[in-house]
Amino acid sequence: MADQQLRDFGRNVGSWFKSFPRNFPRYVTERLPIIKWLPRYQCGWAARDIIAGVTVGLIVVPQGMSYAKVAGLPVQHGLYSAYIGAIFYCFMGTSKDLTIGPTAVISLVTGELVAELAGKMTPPEVAAMSCLIVGVFTMLLGVFRLGIILDFFPTTVLVGYTTGAAATIIIQQVPKWLGVPGINNRAPVYTIIITMFQAIKSLSWLDLVFGLVAMFILLSIGLAVDRWGRGRFSIQLIKISRFFFVTVLATALSYAVNKNVPLDGKGQPIYRLSILKTVPSGLPPPAAGTLPADLVSEVAPKLAAIALATILEHIAIGKAFARRNRYQIDSNQELLTLGLANVTASFFGAYAVTGSFSRSAVKFQCGVKTPFAGFITGALVLLAIFFLTPVFFYIPDAALSAVIMVAVSTLISPPSVFYQFFKINLWDFLSSQVALWITIFVSVETGIAAGVGFSLVVLLFRVARPNFHVLRQVKDRPDVFIDASVDSTLDTIPAPHGVLVFRIEESTTFPNTETFKTWVVDETYKYTRFGGKVKSATERLWSDDLEVHIHGLRKTAHGTESNITDDDLPRLRAVVLDFSAVNNIDSTGLQGLFDLREILKDYAGVADYPQYFFELHFVGIQANVLRILELSGITRPVGPIALQEVQVLEHDDGSNSHSTSPLSRASTNNNGGEIRLQDIESDDGSELRRADGSAKGGNFNVESTKERPAPGDIGAAALSVNGLGSSPFLKEEGLVHLTVRDAIDSILVRSSQWGGANVDEEERRSTHKIEIRHV
């Protein structure tokens, strides 16, 4: 299967290059979606887009400055990040709701990187460098369509580390919010808490008042609107714009408090509360970010965390709103857009940007119609950068911290979400907790790595230790087989004596092959007896404790009080493997099937008594798995040309069914048993040839007979196809069927026709003395 995928990939790449000149206009249109939707723009959409753009702009100005402080950067860098991402996405984005700009999680990781490189690079240099590298990495993923790597990051980890990052940001802002000076908010969370309580006596009461009042207003507006303004957009707009209004109000009060402050000995004003102070106006000159070679290994983990968080947030938010509004986004185009936006932004003083959930939700609530709203947002931020920066001077830090805390609180998932994970799957819950707590107490990149690593270990464990089932027939439903241990509400009966039916719920690959083989053999020991010659004490190996092992298995299966002997159990006649859940099989899994077949044959007694009947049957095989099994020779495509007459079989439960023959990729016609093989492409794409060297498509003569096959030819099923029917290896092959019922009917017919010493009449007429049950 992997070889076929590689060949398909190679053909697709080749055809893409050949058709590129012809498809270049279409390629440009796909890369710039605005070319498609702008000519169709309706005048009625403009009002909604303008409202959404202005509203988001009023939010992103205070949020951008707040998040820049979280990132350890001057506040203007948050504004630089806000306008470039919003405008860029208007031209290349595929979502009408998504808005790009600074976010809490990215700001937190960037702040950790700034603190780590303090003294080696200035904060703006760190911001530009990280933005450029993240942009290039994301852009390459989009160009080469490698969005598949996002599939390895489960939602539970995303929820866990996002909640952990939001909680970390809130804890970091508490000292500023309460007006406690001299606290290093880049220290570990527990250190911030301890030092804050130690310095609580030195807090500034005026900062505390500003912080508490700002928090009270923000929360009160939010709660009031949620209670009385549901379904009314005009009232919801008050909640949406509360950050802007609170920032304006706090700035006005701060100006009034600090208007006539005294001066110190150097002539500098002594402000009565902590404020932002000077914010440069205008845009910085373009400059490229650089990374010194000696710092690569030091910053690589943080840069990887920023890149992963950027990509995961953006795609997750985009898909969420696309599902809600019933449209599609192109993940690879989104990665390309996000990458180019970051690369461009890195030259203009920005730090890494990504999709913002809160601001995207605002656009959705405003009824945005197209990505043009992002252009309005970017233009509004540019106006603020050029004309409003003098006003930003008096914004109080305590109020800004309140804005940050309320804004990021929406990223914290409530306990009910984690409880839902717990109810659905314990491993999902644990992965979310690993990401959550390690993010809080260590760092974001470590939390992401630990959460993803834990999830991958769980995934590998599930592959290595999948579920296995012993199937039983539902009573009065001879065509339905289930695992009675999973659903005990239905009455079931075991398969015919000496026949065991197993199902594996995973692909058969190297991590689980040995486990599957051991489990099948142990289940066979439990419910069937050994059919070969019992070795004497001198013939056994010194380490042979198989009898003790089998005795322990049977006591576990049938009860410790039971005294099960071989006389109570049937001899193994056939094993049916339900492969309906097996989507792939590798070389190790294939070798495991060969080994399993030999072990089962020896246990059935075929090695000591060649006349004994034993067969390995397969059910529900996927096409790609069937092809591999056929190439290996462990099975063969026996045709649906019923070589025996259709017989009515009587089952143990007294019900009747018609016998069916195994599944094949050959088809019959009505000219007396002559069949034509369907076109089958070989591995290398060449035509399949017949034994005489002629091309495929010819007729193959089939001689049908109603005589009982001889023991040596039972694998051929009385079939001769250009001499293949006489192959001495056919009886070593397994048979393939559509359903378990087909397999069992085939086993009953074929074992009854085997004849000779293989069929013990007393055993054939008997039923199980011991039924298969599950402990």
**313 or 594, greater pLDDT:** 594
Instruction: Quote the tokens at residue 560.
Output: 């410790």
∠ Cα 258 262 265 (to 5°): 135
Residue with tokens 């804005």: 403
Q: Which range (34-43, 68-77, 353-362, 673-682) has the least confidence?
A: 673-682
Q: Is the pLDDT confidence value at 418 over 50?
A: yes
Residue 618, beta-bridge partner list: 577, 736
The set of long-range contacts for 597-600, using a CB threshold of 8 Å and a minimum separation of 24, is 597/634, 597/732, 597/734, 599/517, 599/521, 600/520, 600/521, 600/524, 600/572, 600/575
pLDDT grade, residue 661 (50/70/90)?
A: very low
Could you tell me how far CA 611 lies from the centroid of its own chain? Answer: 51
Q: Is the pLDDT confidence value at 681 over 50?
A: no
Output DSSP code: residue 692.
T
∠ Cα 642 645 649 (to 5°): 105
* pLDDT given for residue 640 in this prediction: 42
DSSP secondary structure letters along 194-263: HHHHHTGGG--HHHHHHHHHHHHHHHHHHHHHHHH-TT-HHHHHHHHTHHHHHHHHHHHHHHHHTTT--B
Helices (H), 100-204: 104-116, 123-143, 155-178, 189-198
Tally of CB atoms within 10 A around 414: 9
pLDDT grade, residue 534 (50/70/90)?
A: confident
∠ Cα 305 309 310 (to 5°): 115
**145 or 154, greater pLDDT:** 154
pLDDT for 288-305, tens place per residue?
A: 888 888 888 888 988 988
Q: Is the pLDDT confidence value at 124 over 90?
A: yes
Are 488 and 505 in contact, with CB atoms under 8 Å apart?
no
Instruction: Quote the tokens at residue 575.
Output: 């094993």
**If DSSP codes are grouped into helix, strand and coil, which group holds residue 627?**
helix
DSSP secondary structure letters along 316-341: HHHHHHHHHHT----HHHHHHHHHHH
Residue 737, beta-bridge partner list: 619
* pLDDT given for residue 636 in this prediction: 65
* pLDDT given for residue 371 in this prediction: 93
Q: Is the pLDDT confidence value at 561 over 90?
A: no
Nearest CA to 99 out of 108, 90, 111, 107 is that of: 90
Whats the size of the chain, residue-wise? 775
Cα–Cα dist 527/542, whole Å:
26
Tally of CB atoms within 10 A around 409: 16
* pLDDT given for residue 663 in this prediction: 37
* pLDDT given for residue 379 in this prediction: 95
**Range 254-264 burial, b when 16+ CB lie within 10 A, else e:** beebbeeeeee
Please name the residues in contact with 717: beta carbons below 8 A apart, sequence gap of 6 or more.
Answer: 638, 643, 661, 709, 750
The 3-state secondary structure of 47-88, one letter per residue: HHHHHHHHHHHHHHHHHHHHHHHHCCCCCHHHHHHHHHHHHH
As a whole number, mean pLDDT of residues 666-693 equals 34
**Global confidence as pTM:** 0.73
Are 100 and 341 in contact, with CB atoms under 8 Å apart?
yes
Region label for 576, one of left (φ > 0), alpha (ψ between -120 and 50) or beta (otherwise): beta
pLDDT for 446-457, tens place per residue?
A: 898 899 999 999
Cα–Cα dist 180/198, whole Å:
10
pLDDT for 433-446, tens place per residue?
A: 999 999 999 888 88
pLDDT grade, residue 154 (50/70/90)?
A: confident
Output DSSP code: residue 42.
-
pLDDT grade, residue 611 (50/70/90)?
A: confident
Q: Give the C-alpha distances (Å, rounded to integers) separating 108 from 73, 114, 161, 190.
A: 11, 10, 12, 16
